[in-house]
Chain A
């Protein structure tokens, strides 16, 4: 299990978390995972990340629905691994919130999982669930530090699940994952979701909630700054 974390204390975890804020290419520092100082074994960085522009999103939920369709072969807003929440009575831009998995450099969900069902894929570093190992304790949900947990409960298959960047999409033939395509990126009508191989700044939201509005958006008369 050379790629699995061997040990890590909460203190070390925090230490490295803050280090990742400084170094943008953390993935390169720990390719495939290796022993670091003070005996922390790092989880390999994901080779890809989803970025969203919450000010560009039109709130159609197509991304959420296609996610469940590609993975479960069914269309279900609750099973989509990217979640878009709206309040039609709130003013722009506070009317829409998007939660997408951040493929964190130091994934609390992976650390919390007692059976290693939630793990980093050996080849790509993508954080994903092996459903057969999942015992349904929902610790990943609790561990995910974001307000709406990006590790979610699949109540139909009865296991935890999360965004795998479309690495395993039994119902969509396209090659997915960091070296392929992501269904949500492909379908978003306004291109409010982007994929990058560069590790985003980990602290705060800035690295993941980005500005994807360009000249073409401006031409439609919408704000781009």
Chain B
């Protein structure tokens, strides 16, 4: 089993029992989410429990590429378990974070970690190679995610040092390291069972969705620390090194000759953020990344945060001061320290501001809230808002429930979903900026799944042309060109550009069902199981390649995996495993109570025309009057009945029962999931053929 360490750490917090699971037993799922779901299936006997139930099983999984030189993926890590964020049910869910945790876990000799039960008092788990201890977290409980990590570094790094190298045991044959342990910790938000609480690693890597911070809090688990000195056996080292060098030379950002074009894998190492990066800074990346997407700064503020963590407060801050100030960084850092989901904080705060402007919320108002909205945009306001949320202070107790549950407590949910002032379109999860009325596949994949899917496979088809068009430029690739290049890569539905037709006419088609299916199975396997990074993969189009055809395909993802584990897995075989994992997940949702009748968007998605989002216009490729063009999706809304018809098409495509959305025995059987079908049948939840 090259690429693996052969064992998964199993920690039962209730009984303080530490055992091992043989990775081999689950190797058909390869890693990450797939193994996580399979272990969850086996170990979580009653899948209808609440996420806060001690019997919830949480997995933290690496993959064969973790800790290797595979570009943009080797530092990613997958978390699974029953979540507490989604609404009305805390679905079995997933979250993914970067940094160096998964690599360090592998060097310590573990392919993953499984957490069961609940400790009788706060603890942390200390992993140093094969030496695993459950330690008292008395001195850590109450600390921020950053403080807790620094404390743990101190404890672990007290080990013997030799000429700048630290020994992990008194035997020199246990090896030396120069590294700090990689720690995954919860902040005060998690300790107080926040449904929007995250797991945070280093300064800015967070498993933000699902509320796993709160789940850890309910288990009295403050942190897991891993450090190791072991090796990852590799099947064909030369092939792996050559593949990495070729990826750098032929597909990555070319410093000597930067190509003007649309980038993804080929992006430069710059902050993917929404606030202005401090000039005195460096790019910063996860382990093995081909181009970092974060920064570390000379002020020490805002380091390692990117994307939504940077958008969370930037706009409020700019509005207050007319320009962005230091307060935006301070607010973002507070988010990381308390360990709060940036999307909940951002969309939630927008919602609170709207209620304030409506005169409904404020000091002494119908919803009595002490926050002074005249100060919105200042660091002080952010501190108060986030502290209230983290500690459940006063109305912060409602905020900590997530803003859909808060709206429900305030008796406003139905109305605010109707008018759309509460932009939480699917499963009570905040909108990602990529509205279902515009970026159809994002919305659909989220609603047939378990959460805001946060998978940017096709999202560049919005950003890239929209920026070009609004900037008065001819789009780098025409709608026809880019959809053709991409369609070639959409195995097993390859060469069908109509899958990328985002016109409203096509929104309810079988082609759109195929796009959603592709998204789910690519995501379930290559992204969440093998752990290729969502930000850089798939590489569908790439301006460095002569024909703009990116690295994704047999010469891409599988090439790295095969060089590590051996064998000749094709891209398409990986997709089949993705389908298997996707079916397994759906069987879990079904056991939890999923039925097609629940699968619907918040009312505003059907009733209110889309406002065009962040840039005011939201262009996507589509066919209009028989011709490919970029269509502005602003002003659109979805049709309820047609969406219902689409669901039927989608379930049929997956081989599931269109009446219920439940997996069928034949679909499960062809994937080798007969035991899953048996369990569904036992509970009368098997889909009809």
A interface residues with partner B (beta carbon < 8 Å): 55-62, 65-66, 68-70, 72-79, 83, 85-93, 95-96, 99, 138, 141-142, 144, 146-149, 152-153, 155-156, 158, 171-174, 183, 186-187, 189-191, 216-217, 219-223
Q: Report the stretch among B167-175, B501-509, B636-644 that lies at the interface.
A: B167-175
Residue of A nearest to B237 (CB): A171
Q: How far is the CA of A88 from the CA of B333 in the complex (A)?
A: 12
Whether B241 pairs with A172 at a CB distance below 8 angstroms is yes
Q: Report the stretch among B296-304, B387-395, B488-496, B606-614 that lies at the interface.
A: B296-304
Output the least CB separation between A142 and chain B (Å): 6
Q: A95-B296, A144-B163, A148-B178 are in contact. Are A58 and B234 (CB under 8 A)?
A: no
Which of A66, A85, A217, A222 is the one whose CB lies under 8 Å from B244? Answer: A66
User: Contact string, B144-174, partner A, CB cutoff 8 A, digits 1/0?
Assistant: 0010001000000000001111000000111
Q: Report the stretch among B209-217, B284-292, B440-448, B459-467 that lies at the interface.
A: B284-292
Provide 6 A-B residue pairs closer than 8 Å at the C-beta atoms, listed in order of the A residue. Answer: A77-B229, A85-B178, A92-B281, A95-B296, A171-B241, A216-B255
Output the least CB separation between A171 and chain B (Å): 4
Please give 6 more A-B residue pairs, beta carbons under 8 A apart, in addition to A78-B176, A99-B178, A186-B241: A58-B291, A61-B288, A65-B67, A156-B175, A187-B248, A223-B280
Output the least CB separation between B160 and chain A (Å): 12
Q: How far is the CA of A17 from the CA of B473 in the complex (A)?
A: 60
Which of B165, B252, B283, B289 is the one whose CB lies under 8 Å from A152? Answer: B165
Residue of A nearest to B174 (CB): A155
Whether A61 pairs with B163 at a CB distance below 8 angstroms is no
Scan residues 248-286 of chain B and give those whose CB is less than 8 A from a CB of chain A: 248, 252-253, 255-256, 258, 268-270, 277, 279-286
Residue B54 is within 8 A (CB to CB) of chain A in the complex: no
Whether B165 pairs with A58 at a CB distance below 8 angstroms is no
Using a Cβ cutoff of 8 Å, how many contacts connect chains A and B?
206
Whether A77 pairs with B290 at a CB distance below 8 angstroms is no
Contacts of A68 on B, CB cut-off 8 Å?
231
Whether B69 pairs with A216 at a CB distance below 8 angstroms is no
Closest 6 CB pairs of A and B: A148-B164, A91-B300, A74-B231, A149-B163, A171-B237, A155-B175
Which of A58, A148, A155, A187 is the one whose CB lies under 8 Å from B241? Answer: A187
Which of B69, B103, B164, B300 is the one whose CB lies under 8 Å from A187? Answer: B69
Contacts of A77 on B, CB cut-off 8 Å?
67, 103-104, 107, 177, 179, 229
Residue of B nearest to A142 (CB): B163
Whether A96 pairs with B234 at a CB distance below 8 angstroms is no
Residue of B nearest to A223 (CB): B280
Q: A65-B67, A65-B69, A90-B300 are in contact. Are A76 and B285 (CB under 8 A)?
A: no
Which of A86, A93, A222 is the one whose CB lies under 8 Å from B279? Answer: A222
Output the least CB separation between B258 and chain A (Å): 7
Q: How far is the CA of A175 from the CA of B603 in the complex (A)?
A: 64
Q: How far is the CA of A138 from the CA of B178 in the complex (A)?
A: 16
Output the least CB separation between B267 and chain A (Å): 11
Whether B229 pairs with A155 at a CB distance below 8 angstroms is yes
Residue B44 is within 8 A (CB to CB) of chain A in the complex: no
Contacts of B241 on A, CB cut-off 8 Å?
66, 69-70, 171-172, 174, 183, 186-187
Whether B238 pairs with A190 at a CB distance below 8 angstroms is no
Which of B163, B252, B289 is the one whose CB lies under 8 Å from A60? Answer: B289
Whether B245 pairs with A187 at a CB distance below 8 angstroms is yes
Q: How far is the CA of A217 from the CA of B269 in the complex (A)?
A: 10
Whether A156 pairs with B283 at a CB distance below 8 angstroms is no
Residue B230 is within 8 A (CB to CB) of chain A in the complex: yes
Whether B269 pairs with A191 at a CB distance below 8 angstroms is no
Contacts of B69 on A, CB cut-off 8 Å?
62, 65-66, 69, 75, 187
Whether A89 pairs with B176 at a CB distance below 8 angstroms is no
Residue B539 is within 8 A (CB to CB) of chain A in the complex: no
Whether A222 pairs with B178 at a CB distance below 8 angstroms is no
Whether A75 pairs with B232 at a CB distance below 8 angstroms is yes
Contacts of A91 on B, CB cut-off 8 Å?
296-300, 303
Whether B234 pairs with A78 at a CB distance below 8 angstroms is no
Q: How far is the CA of A157 from the CA of B453 in the complex (A)?
A: 45
Whether A153 pairs with B172 at a CB distance below 8 angstroms is yes
Whether B277 pairs with A221 at a CB distance below 8 angstroms is yes
Output the least CB separation between A155 and chain B (Å): 4
Q: A89-B150, A91-B296, A138-B162 are in contact. Are A60 and B285 (CB under 8 A)?
A: yes
Whether B203 pairs with A62 at a CB distance below 8 angstroms is no
Contacts of A66 on B, CB cut-off 8 Å?
69, 241, 244
Residue of A nearest to B65 (CB): A75
Residue B202 is within 8 A (CB to CB) of chain A in the complex: yes
Whether A58 pairs with B299 at a CB distance below 8 angstroms is no
Which of B283, B291, B303 is the one whose CB lies under 8 Å from A88? Answer: B303
Output the least CB separation between B200 and chain A (Å): 11
Residue B600 is within 8 A (CB to CB) of chain A in the complex: no
Contacts of A56 on B, CB cut-off 8 Å?
282
With most chain A CB atoms within 10 A of its CB, the pick from B248, B284, B289 is: B284
Q: How far is the CA of A75 from the CA of B66 in the complex (A)?
A: 10
Q: How far is the CA of A174 from the CA of B241 in the complex (A)?
A: 10
Contacts of B178 on A, CB cut-off 8 Å?
83, 85, 99, 148
Q: How far is the CA of A146 from the CA of B178 in the complex (A)?
A: 13
Q: How far is the CA of A92 from the CA of B302 in the complex (A)?
A: 11
Contacts of B244 on A, CB cut-off 8 Å?
62, 66, 187
Whether B180 pairs with A87 at a CB distance below 8 angstroms is yes
Contacts of A92 on B, CB cut-off 8 Å?
280-282, 296-298, 300, 303
Q: How far is the CA of A225 from the CA of B105 in the complex (A)?
A: 37
Contacts of B253 on A, CB cut-off 8 Å?
189
Contacts of B233 on A, CB cut-off 8 Å?
74
Residue B590 is within 8 A (CB to CB) of chain A in the complex: no
Q: A65-B288, A155-B176, A189-B291 are in contact. Are A216 and B258 (CB under 8 A)?
A: yes
Contacts of A171 on B, CB cut-off 8 Å?
237-238, 241
Q: How far is the CA of A188 from the CA of B103 in the complex (A)?
A: 18
Whether A76 pairs with B297 at a CB distance below 8 angstroms is no
Whether B285 pairs with A59 at a CB distance below 8 angstroms is yes
Residue of B nearest to A189 (CB): B290
Scan residues 179-199 of chain B and give those whose CB is less than 8 A from a CB of chain A: 179-180
Q: How far is the CA of A183 from the CA of B242 in the complex (A)?
A: 10
Contacts of B281 on A, CB cut-off 8 Å?
92, 222-223
Contacts of A191 on B, CB cut-off 8 Å?
255
